[in-house]
Amino acid sequence: MARRSRRGVPALLGGLLLALTAGPLQAAAAPAGVPAAEGSGMVMVLDASGSMAGKDGSGGTRIDAARKAVGTVVDAMPDGYPTGLRVYGADKPKGCDDTRLAQPVAALDRAGLKKAVAGVRPKGDTPIGLSLRKAAADLPRPAAGSIGTRTILLISDGEDTCRTPQPCKVAAQLAASGVDLHIDTVGFQVAGRARTQLECIAKAGNGQYYDAPDAKALARQLQRAGQLSADGYRFQGKQVRGTATRGGAPGLVPGQYLDSLGPNEERYYATDLDAASAADFSATVVPPSGAAVGLLDSLHTRIAYGSGGVCDSTTGLFAQREGAAPLTSGVSRIPTQSGTGSCDKAGRYWLVVERKAARGSDATRWPLELTFHVEHPLKKGVTPAQSAPEYGAGGKDARLPATAPEDVTGGTGFNDARTLHPGVWRDKVLPAQTLWYKVPVGWGQQLRYDVEFANEPRIKGSRAAASYGATQVYTPFRTPVGNGTGEFSPHVPYTGRSASLSMGTVPVAWTNRYEAHPNVRPVHLNGDFYIAVTLGARASQVAENPQIGVVLRVAVLGKEKDGPQTGASVAEASRRESGSSADVGQDSGGGWSTGRVVAVAVGGVGVLLLAGLALAYVRPRRRPAAADRAADPRRGGSW
């Protein structure tokens, strides 16, 4: 959830929750092989202590249930994903050093892993702390400059029986050792102190705790944890290290970069801009799926200049407490039409990225992906089309495709987002997972889509009443534009019953850059618009199936124009170039001449109502009022 600020103006928080219905979906096949990010991998740490020889309540033993569950996990993992197995308590009746690597972490060997776990015979003690420390050494190390996803997946039916090392302390030390390591835990028929300890390990290890009261739940939760590890965000970019102040800040040129960001930390990056080009920046933090966050934990970006000026400022909010998901904030430096604004001068500017975290939120460093693009001014003589600040045909009542759905597998992030074209698409999403897609949108067109979460059987006796589903849409420069409009809501409760969301953009118009509303201004360039679909972490306590069905109904509305200027559609331009005598249409009302376009202050106008997350929305105006035209030319301020 994002909100853009303006001096003295509260920003937008996001919409009202909405519940609709959608039909059930069939189960999807296991994921196909996708190359893992360098340095990624997972090692399962399996409890083989004496208690695992006990009955599981369904006629078998706990170790039998664990063997079957591990088999389910490896069958569902992508081909080739580096996976290994460590066991403890399997070799000695007594001993706090009883831990060994039963299958090295290497390209997925399903038969080898199943054979290794089939040979495990429960015998001894429960040295969890030592096993975690050893497991971290089992995992591959990412090469310099790369960020992978390294997961320790602990499966246990009891607490540590050895005094040293303390498991929670070990987990905290390991999680602090790098931005790419986390520890998930699965408690198999645990309660009391054992459950408390496993929850502590997961929290300290920057991971999630999964409760498995029976054999079926064990298989389900292991599959979820394993697939989340394998489907981690694929990063791209050049390594860079921001500074705590302007002094010594690394210089950026247009491109993509990687850094990391700690809680309540601020990072500076410098760049030199000319007087006429627009500059677009985005910052994306990628926490471990489901890591602890607060309602108002946020990612704040701003463009600074001079001794204390701010050109643009935006804040992205998690706006929920179930657990972290990727969060993006985008800002732009857009010169005014007159060229006399404070941010119109050539010179040194700084991108500033800040992460705000409440007490109790995840305390580890998170990977940070930055993008920087430069937009050169239009050629002389080109008159841009009028801005398009209204949703019009792309509003909430838009007619969307109703054809039979096609299967698709969403990407892990911006860099491998799956391309979609208008139509109906079907996918599967895990609790705490975000799926990514991209849709080409041309000049004069707008993206409009619905997301439908499937009706799924609920877990009997679950204490969780509901989770949530969410979606966001991003411009080609990764600026989120779907929140706080009053037209769409980015969240919907998910209780296991079908639920749906609507989302979209205004039409793409070059002159939108001079509009005031934060969901209009960034929609000023054609290209791939990104769709993110998230299911809340608590859905793992709600839905019985490991994955939840999701359907996307995607439409791209309007005729594509052949450029930012007022003029023909692409089809009409093609006919004209081929000698066709067809008429060439103009935009309704004609284009704005360059002399009449006036820049206005950026920032949404809204009211933040914390009690109900309700929203008071002011519709963007097609033309700025005189008072707005006289606003601070810096068009921004700290939130």
Q: Where are the chain's structural domains? A: 41-231, 236-377, 380-565
Q: What is the pLDDT of residues 144-191, one digit of tens each?
A: 666 878 999 999 999 999 989 999 999 999 988 877 888 999 999 999
pLDDT for res 594: 28
At 379, the pLDDT band (50, 70, 90 cuts) reads very high
Q: Is the pLDDT of residue 584 over 70?
A: no
Give percent of the chain above pLDDT 70: 82
pLDDT for res 534: 97
**What integer is the mean pLDDT of 82-95?**
95
Which residues lie across from 529 on neighbouring strands? Answer: 439
**What integer is the mean pLDDT of 568-586?**
46
HSE-up of 458 (CA within 13 Å, CB side)?
A: 15
If we measure between CA atoms, which residue out of 163, 152, 154 comes closest to residue 190? 154
For 236-377, CATH gives 2.60.120.380
Q: Are the C-beta atoms of 299 and 369 separated by less than 8 Å?
A: no
> At 423, which helix (H) or strand (E)?
strand 423-429
Distance from C-alpha of 233 to C-alpha of 197, rounded to nearest angstrom: 29
Q: Is the pLDDT of residue 295 over 50?
A: yes
Distance from C-alpha of 504 to C-alpha of 396, rounded to nearest angstrom: 8
The domains spanning 41-231 and 380-565 adopt the same CATH topology: no
At 610, the pLDDT band (50, 70, 90 cuts) reads very low
The identity of residue 148, as a single letter, is G
Tell me if the domain spanning 380-565 has CATH number 2.40.50.100. Answer: no
**What integer is the mean pLDDT of 458-465?**
79
pLDDT for res 161: 94
Distance from C-alpha of 68 to C-alpha of 70, rounded to nearest angstrom: 6
C-alpha distances in angstroms, 546 versus 51, 55, 85, 331? 27, 24, 21, 37
For 41-231, CATH gives 3.40.50.410
pLDDT for res 395: 93
Q: Which two tokens stand for residue 225?
A: 């944890």
The larger pLDDT score, comparing residue 256 to residue 308, is at 256
Q: What angle do CA 507, 510, 515 make, to 5 degrees?
A: 80
pLDDT for res 147: 80
Q: Are the C-beta atoms of 262 and 354 separated by less than 8 Å?
A: no
**What integer is the mean pLDDT of 110-121?**
95
Helices of type H across 56-141: 62-76, 110-118, 128-138
**What integer is the mean pLDDT of 457-464?**
80
Q: Is the pLDDT of residue 222 over 80?
A: yes
If we measure between CA atoms, which residue out of 99, 61, 85 comes closest to residue 139? 85
pLDDT for res 617: 31
pLDDT for res 588: 31
| Mean pLDDT, rounded, of the chain | 83
pLDDT for res 608: 25
The larger pLDDT score, comparing residue 289 to residue 617, is at 289
Q: Is the pLDDT of residue 25 over 50?
A: no
Distance from C-alpha of 546 to C-alpha of 75, rounded to nearest angstrom: 13
Q: Is the pLDDT of residue 112 over 80?
A: yes
Q: Are the C-beta atoms of 116 and 102 separated by less than 8 Å?
A: yes
Q: What is the pLDDT of residues 28-51, one digit of tens each?
A: 334 444 566 677 899 999 999 999
pLDDT for res 592: 27
Which of the residue ranges 139-143, 295-299, 391-395 would you say has the lowest mean pLDDT?
139-143
pLDDT for res 18: 31
How far does Cα 432 stand from its chain's mean position?
10
All residues at 6 or more sequence positions from 237 whose CB lies less than 8 Å from its CB, including other chains:
255, 256, 257, 258, 369, 370
C-alpha distances in angstroms, 208 versus 151, 203, 230, 303, 498? 11, 7, 15, 35, 25
Distance from C-alpha of 415 to C-alpha of 434, rounded to nearest angstrom: 13
pTM: 0.82
Question: Can you say whether residue 119 is alpha, beta or left, with left for phi > 0 and alpha for psi between -120 and 50 degrees?
Answer: alpha
At 596, the pLDDT band (50, 70, 90 cuts) reads very low
At 566, the pLDDT band (50, 70, 90 cuts) reads confident
At 462, the pLDDT band (50, 70, 90 cuts) reads confident
Three-state SS at 572: helix
pLDDT for res 585: 31
Q: Is the pLDDT of residue 64 over 80?
A: yes
The larger pLDDT score, comparing residue 414 to residue 17, is at 414
At 568, the pLDDT band (50, 70, 90 cuts) reads low
Q: Is the pLDDT of residue 476 over 90?
A: yes
If we measure between CA atoms, which residue out of 187, 180, 110 comes closest to residue 153? 187
Q: Are the C-beta atoms of 267 and 302 separated by less than 8 Å?
A: no
